[in-house]
Amino acid sequence: MSIAILAASVPWKLVHADDARDSSNPYGILAFLDWDHDWNNHFSGGAKLDKSVALIQQAGAGWVRIAFEWSDIEPEKGRFAFQKYDHILDVLDKHGIKTLGILCYNPAWRKAEWNAAPIPDDFIAYSTTTVAHFKGRVKYWEFWNEPDSKFYWDPQDDMTAYSALLKRLNSAVKAVDPSAQIVMGGMTESGPFAIRRVYQKAGKDSFDVVNIHPFVNPLKPNAVGTLKGIYTSLMRVMTEFGDQNKPIWFTELGCPGVKNPSPQNGWWEGISPNEDQQAKWVTTVYTNTLQWPGVQRVFWAFLRDTHDFFHSGVDDFGLVTEDFVKKPSYKAYQELKK
């Protein structure tokens, strides 16, 4: 089904045509375009950035999800540097790709773990300075990644600290860019349950977009039913708080695609799908989820494989290999727009 048909048939998918930062294209990709550090072996550095963005455009995606990492933007407290992200956005703008920016992770100068709950005043300063700088280029800002997971937000406290900071962030961001949209951090481990806590503790007016990462094993029986069940539970929570008309984004959804599945290259759901099974899941995910009321954007994780970074099948989530060889899933993604 074409994007035009989707937008015409589902009114909430429409956006203001005069906002150059927005698009009605519902197809997104998580591409790690900010990964140009020693710790990730400069995964997207140099010419790899241009090659990645060209592939995103050729795939037909309209959106990319990028971490605007605090350590990059504020390398020393009070000193801000935007050149890296200005360049990334220059490349994206040239290819007509819109950006979902993630505000996340502690800077080295804080002397705390990267995933520790941030100090609110410092985080607000970094966030508002970043939003103000990019206000003409980025409309949507996601607050943190998977804050219901101890791996990304520590300590876990039943969403209390996250919710309190979300309320402050929403007000502070809207003060510097009233048109900015705050996207709730994608929930993963506890999904709708964590989102319910955010509604209870922060209120529905503290964010503009509901966000969840509904990973499902496509090899299990009734995988689509499981995915639909997560969505249904989410809608039940939103309806409980009178917020059922708010847009829903899936900012991560995917699975591995490996050449030869084995226990050694499995993922957290067990044995990894092979490349053809991954391609089939791409088609299944998008043809189903974009028909569900409220679902506005779906971001596939990932664009490229991340060789031996996660040390599991997660390294094979890509639509292309780390060396940019297109997998069957890339063609399946391209076919979605036909």
Burial class (CB in 10 A: 0-12, 13-18, 19+), 311: exposed
pLDDT tens for each residue of the chain, 338 residues long = 333 333 333 333 444 458 999 999 999 999 999 999 999 999 999 999 999 999 999 999 999 999 999 999 999 999 999 999 999 999 999 999 999 999 999 999 999 999 999 999 999 999 999 999 999 999 999 999 999 999 999 999 999 999 999 999 999 999 999 999 999 999 998 999 999 999 999 999 999 999 999 999 999 999 999 999 999 999 999 999 999 999 999 999 999 999 999 999 999 999 999 999 999 999 999 999 999 999 999 999 999 999 899 999 999 999 999 999 999 999 999 999 87
Residue 23 phi, psi (nearest 5): -160, 150
Q: Around 53, how many Cα atoms within 13 Å sit in the side-chain half-sphere?
A: 22
- The pLDDT assigned to 17 comes to 52
- The pLDDT assigned to 8 comes to 33
Distance, CA of 106 to CA of 125 (rounded, Å): 13
Question: What's the mean pLDDT when you consider all of the chain?
Answer: 94
- The pLDDT assigned to 210 comes to 98
- Residue whose structure tokens are 């599991």: 312
- The pLDDT assigned to 338 comes to 72
Closest CA to 214 of 143, 101, 299, 100: 299
Domain of 308, in residue numbers: 3-335
How confident is the model over 120-150, as pLDDT tens digits? Answer: 999 999 999 999 999 999 999 999 999 999 9
- Lookup: tokens for 63: 């959106």
The H or E element that residue 155 is part of is none
Closest CA to 211 of 140, 283, 265: 140
- Lookup: tokens for 287: 């043809």
Distance, CA of 165 to CA of 128 (rounded, Å): 13
| Number of domains composing the chain | 1
DSSP annotation of 128: H
Are residues 178 and 167 in contact, defined by beta-carbon separation less than 8 angstroms?
no
**Number of other residues whose CB lies within 10 A of the CB of residue 156:** 18
Bridge partners of 302, per DSSP, are: none
How confident is the model over 217-264, as pLDDT tens digits? Answer: 999 999 999 999 999 999 999 999 999 999 999 999 999 999 999 999
CATH of residue 295: 3.20.20.80
Residue 36 phi, psi (nearest 5): -140, 60
Q: What letters, b where the CB count within 10 A reaches 16 and e where it falls short, cover 15-42?
A: beeeeebbbbbbbbbbbbbbbbeeeeee
